[in-house]
Structure 1
Amino acid sequence: MSTSVIKLLPDHIANQIAAGEVVQRPASVVKELLENSVDAGAIQITLLIEDAGKSLIKVIDNGCGISETDIRLAFERHATSKIRKAEDLFAITTMGFRGEALASIAAVSQVECVSKTPDSSTGTRLVIEGGKVKEQLPEASMTGTSIAVKNLFFNIPARRNFLKSDSVELRHIYEEFIRIALAHPDKRLKLVNNGTEIYNLLPGTHKQRIISIFGNKMADNLLQIREQTTVITISGFLTMPSVAKKIKGEQYFFINKRFVKNSYLHHAIMAAYEGLLQPETYPSYFVFIDIDPAEIDVNIHPTKTEIKFRDDRTVYHLLKAAARKTLGINAVSQPMDFDVERSIHIPFDETKTPKIPTIEVHPDYNPFTNPAPQGRSVEKIQVPTVNIPKNWEELYKIAALTKADVQNSDPPENDLIALTQQIEVSLHEETEIFQLFKKYIVYKRGSQVFIIHQQYAHERVLYENFQKSIRNRSILSQQMLIPVKIEFTPHEIEYLSKIKHLLSDFGFDFEWIGRNEIALYGMPVDLQIEHAEEIFKNLCQNLTEYSDAEEVINDVLCRQIAFVSAYRSGQILHQEAMARLVNELFKLENPAAGIRRKKTFIQLQSTDIDKWFN
């Protein structure tokens, strides 16, 4: 008689397995608890965070509350008040409906829930640890619910060890909070991290909510999108193409007030921007789509951030057309915005009598016959030449000996690097160097031609120079006569405060002014002032994704400064600049590789060109 090898898992193990899909990190808990508060009809929601959510995540709301008889059942698997039958899955109007979240959270943490309904005289306090109820008692409380999730993954140390750094986990928490805040501008939401208030958002319009989260500078760059059809209603805001960023920042889609990720809809927005954006830049957008719940399926993934449309092609084309219409209308003029307070001060001296301006004309002046003014002369520009060491030809003889068919094939990358290390551009001997298509530098010597991408090459040179300066602690800072104010979001301010000492080493001198602003007093020499804000924003976006390690921060900083400071494609370069760039590039240890993982140049020989005609 054979023994059974298939066993029914105990409930606590099954809950932990289910929690692996629902509760991936502290931000997952934040998302589920905030959505429950929204479904409860709360108009005031407070989120308290400690230790990046690892020690405490607490959500307090003034919603409908949970009754004494339902509070324990709410933490059972597949227990929900949102649906009753299978058909309800295609008419979902609430954020949650699976009945998995609370059970999954309670299975991997210590939960304390206090709740009271409006018609109850007292509330109920429920304590659960690792999925097991420890205590249920009556307790005096206000109407609404307070859920505290403590010591997340305390009973699964392996999962806890896989959590990222505090800055990374906090960024995900902030992002979940922002998504809920954007979807529900009619609610007051507050976020407190380790006792510090990060957000305190008052009820208002969608535009006011966007500005309160992302700063006042966003106000001037928002273009309203609005389209109502029999299929869907589209509303929200796009940003002007001129303020597109080099990173994918604020891009949000909400379907029936639910944040979703949808590459198809994203493509519709990007198609509408086609021809309006600079290369490798991305617009921000906040798009809200209302559609009949029967036309979508949100029961795709436990996180409920993926949906399917019954007719996705129609939605795509309607969204694309609405976005194009918005961008087309606002390409000519931007409408006045009366929601944002502005004041324009035009100085006027009332003591002076206004008079009609006059134009003075010199009747005897002839620009074709009059001599040039004294002290001015036409300069003759000396076109510099470049030079190669005397042993240049010997390098090719050596290469020819080591590889017999070197003239009939492209040299390996290692040989190319070794070869170009010997190049030295000088201004003493004749050579040929010129710019092609305002994008490439063509450098010819003998039978060799190097076509150099001026932007990628300059980025590589600047990156290496900054790396060297950091190692030698020799970065110079230039002080500005007038400090520059830069506005940040609260979580960006919090992150910058942690790395302020590293930014100081790079030459950035700034202090906090107000709650969400800094005053920039100094920055690295040769860095343009208009690039300072871009560097800080990109820094916050990139670094919180990876690490707090000093070497990582230094590397990202070097790259960001190189990106914004390098020559651009389309920029005209003079002979001196081209010669200097070629000289500095080939002095590097690895000149062929750009910091974008692209080549900085290609090499051709006369025999390669001969092949084109044979």
Structure 2
Amino acid sequence: MPSYIKILPQFIANRIAAGEVVGRPEAVVKELIENSIDAGAQHIQLIIRDAGKSLIQVIDDGSGMNEDDAVLSFQRHATSKISEPDDLEHISTLGFRGEALASIAAVAQVELKTRTADDELGTLIKNHGNEIVEHTKVQCEKGTSIAVRNLFYNTPARRNFLKTNQTEFRHIYETFVRQAIANHNISFTFINEDEEIFDLKAGTLNERLFNIFGSDAAGNLIEVDHSNELLSLKGYISKPSFTKKNKQDQNLYLNNRYVISKALSFAVHSAYEDLIDKGDYPNFYLFLRLDPSKFDINVHPSKLEVKFEEERALFSFVRRGVWSTLEKNDLIVKVKIPDTVLSDQEAKNPVYNANIFKSSSFTGKSPNISSQSGGFSFKKHDTSSGENGNPFENSPVIHEMFGSNSINEDENNIKGDSLEEKLYKEQDTDSLVSKNEIWQFQKKYIMYQLESTLMIIDQHAAHERILYEQALDRLNNNANLTQQLLLPIFIELNPVDYEVVRSVEKELSALGFDIELQSKRKVKIKGIPSDVRIGDEGKILQELIDQYKDYDIKLNLEKRDNLAKSYACKHAIKAGDYLTEGEMLNLIDKLFSVKMPYVCPHGRPTIVKLSMDELDKMFFRTGL
């Protein structure tokens, strides 16, 4: 019987393995920069063309390699970082698997130049698809230069799955920024299409953040310094007033390595508690220092995922570190509560104390709150039953709801208005017992009565559908309905956002934005769409850009559709916005004038109808 199993040739195995290490141009940038950092470089230069598809070149002034090491570096699992099994328990370098260069060379044309300080001549190696086509001695500077050309040239299917240049550039930019933040003691240069994006000098972390994000973002950061004998947490977090609608600027570093940990990121977010609105996210640049034996970074070739030995303890440590920083900066109000009311654990928990009023439950008990010694005193309420056995008789909460009369009082003995009339008078116009045919519920839903049908409208989804169709009409007809600003404003964007604006400049003009692109990534805003509320015009444009980028990654939409949905999402009225009766009626009229009134641009329903028959079924009144 013939044998069917065989060992794959090395070049095929390398090409398969490259799929895990090299998913897109950004992965090449990450691996090469990490190698430069491990080599002790003091200056790293990144050069890209065609969003990394045509060229990715990283030049450093690190230790370099001798000729033998340069040849060996293209072999799989060739590394200088580890040599013994125990070394995996104490990894202190960014790279250690020895897969990067072999994987890159398997799917690209690579040129390596390198020289150590002890060698007079350097080594030049050209490797195409894991085949060395040239190997010679050359004159070159100390350090290493690696140029990766025509990525995925021999795997066209992989190349076809790459995103647009704008998207791939954004991924490269984000990786470069993460490495530059973590290694602020190293100078970095970033050149894209012969244009200098960054020239960052070595300095402090605060200086690096200022040079990357600008004075506005850096000026709204708070320094974190929290440690014990085993752990340390340092870096910066944003003030609660300076948040974003996405998690783009949330950076967590473990022993100076950028990692992704949903648990620890949530620990940071949860420390803000009610200081930020739902859907807002703080920026943070935090560095966690931990014994390497307490975590495992060797989970995936990308080395982004990490497993912790004591994740719960780390969660508490990070959360407390962020919370205490906010408290020190007078951003959290402490409430003094005697330990006699709370359990020992609750009394010692500052987060619990700060949010004691957040939760409410209907128990028939009401804490007696009085101001004493600058704090609040909670006294146990007498819950003993009254003469008639009513446990709620002495509850001030109930009396406030129903007036000063006891709820046990006979309704027929009430003088003046009847109990029913009192209830109608005490309810506001938003109440379900209002005699109006339209009202707003919880500042989120519009309740509209049509004969025997109750129509419930999601005000955000409805307005989003209206704005979406209006935006599409403007984009298709180049309507350009603009309200000019009295004085133009100027905003400075990061390189990625500036490229986004440049790529959709005509479409933004059709929507109603009157903008002018200027040098040094500045944008002059002279007008905004006519249906956008006057306010923070710079924030309006920034939120639109952020939403556009988010949809581009998650939904891969056509440019105009993406822009229309982003515009509608960011400028629609939100849950929590109060609407007058006239505004609600106007919204309903506009909703039923669009082509597709029943779903928002994302497919969620805008309207739910409840007929009398459906309500009767809910109350089991059918057949009565």
Partner of 1:470: 475
Q: Does 1:591 align with 2:597?
A: yes
The one-character-per-residue Cα deviations of 1:552-607 (angstroms, maximum 9, x if unpaired) are: 33223323333333333333322221211111112333322123543323222334
Q: CA, structure 1 residues 116+332, in 2 after alignment: closer, same or farther (shift >3 Å)?
A: same
Query: TM-score if structure 1 supplies the norm length?
Result: 0.80
Report how far residue 259 of structure 1 moved.
0.7
Q: Does 1:445 align with 2:458?
A: no
1:450/1:604 contact within 8 Å kept: yes
Report how far residue 84 of structure 1 moved.
0.9
Partner of 1:23: 22
> What is the letter of the counterpart of residue 241 of structure 1?
P
Structure 1: how far apart are the matches of 2:148 and 2:493?
30
Partner of 1:394: none
Residue 227 of structure 1 aligns to a residue in which SS? strand
Structure 2: how far apart are the matches of 1:251 and 1:451?
37
Structure 1: how far apart are the matches of 2:477 and 2:516?
25
Partner of 1:183: 182
Partner of 2:166: 167
Among candidates 573, 587, 610, match of residue 567 of structure 1 = 573
> What is the letter of the counterpart of residue 491 of structure 2?
I
1:236/1:286 contact within 8 Å kept: yes
Partner of 1:601: 607
Partner of 2:514: 509
> What is the letter of the counterpart of residue 255 of structure 1?
L
| Matched-pair identity in % | 41
Report how far residue 140 of structure 1 moved.
1.1
Q: CA, structure 1 residues 601+158, in 2 after alignment: closer, same or farther (shift >3 Å)?
A: closer
Report how far residue 143 of structure 1 moved.
0.9
Q: CA, structure 1 residues 145+191, in 2 after alignment: closer, same or farther (shift >3 Å)?
A: same
Q: CA, structure 1 residues 257+594, in 2 after alignment: closer, same or farther (shift >3 Å)?
A: same
Report how far residue 547 of structure 1 moved.
5.7
Query: TM-score if structure 2 supplies the norm length?
Result: 0.79
Partner of 2:355: none
The one-character-per-residue Cα deviations of 1:413-466 (angstroms, maximum 9, x if unpaired) are: xxxxxxxxxxxxxxxxx9722233333322213222212222222222222222
Partner of 2:392: none
Partner of 2:202: 203
Partner of 2:524: 519
Structure 1: how far apart are the matches of 2:603 and 2:95?
43
Partner of 1:389: none
Q: CA, structure 1 residues 543+252, in 2 after alignment: closer, same or farther (shift >3 Å)?
A: same
Q: CA, structure 1 residues 295+275, in 2 after alignment: closer, same or farther (shift >3 Å)?
A: same
Give unmatched runs, 5+ long, in structure 1.
335-429
Q: CA, structure 1 residues 557+165, in 2 after alignment: closer, same or farther (shift >3 Å)?
A: closer
> What is the letter of the counterpart of residue 129 of structure 1?
H
> What is the letter of the counterpart of residue 568 of structure 1?
K
The one-character-per-residue Cα deviations of 1:178-203 (angstroms, maximum 9, x if unpaired) are: 11111101111011011011111111
Report how far residue 542 of structure 1 moved.
4.5
Structure 2: how far apart are the matches of 1:505 and 1:583?
25
The number of residue pairs the alignment matches comes to 518
- Please give the residue correspondences for 1:76-91 in structure 2 after superposition, counting only pairs within 5 Å: 76-91=75-90
Bigger relative contact order (CA 8 A; separation at least 6): 1
- Answer with 33-42 or 50-59: which moved more: 50-59
Q: How large is the RMSD of aligned CA atoms in angstroms?
A: 2.3
2:166/2:500 contact within 8 Å kept: yes
- Please give the residue correspondences for 1:399-418 in structure 2 after superposition, counting only pairs within 5 Å: none
Structure 1: how far apart are the matches of 2:513 and 2:274?
36
Report how far residue 214 of structure 1 moved.
1.9
Structure 1: how far apart are the matches of 2:507 and 2:250?
30
Q: CA, structure 1 residues 439+327, in 2 after alignment: closer, same or farther (shift >3 Å)?
A: same
Q: CA, structure 1 residues 550+503, in 2 after alignment: closer, same or farther (shift >3 Å)?
A: farther
Q: CA, structure 1 residues 186+564, in 2 after alignment: closer, same or farther (shift >3 Å)?
A: same
Report how far residue 333 of structure 1 moved.
9.2
Partner of 2:349: none
Partner of 1:495: 500
- Please give the residue correspondences for 1:104-503 in structure 2 after superposition, counting only pairs within 5 Å: 104-332=103-331, 432-503=437-508
Structure 2: how far apart are the matches of 1:283 and 1:315?
19
Q: Does 1:72 align with 2:71?
A: yes
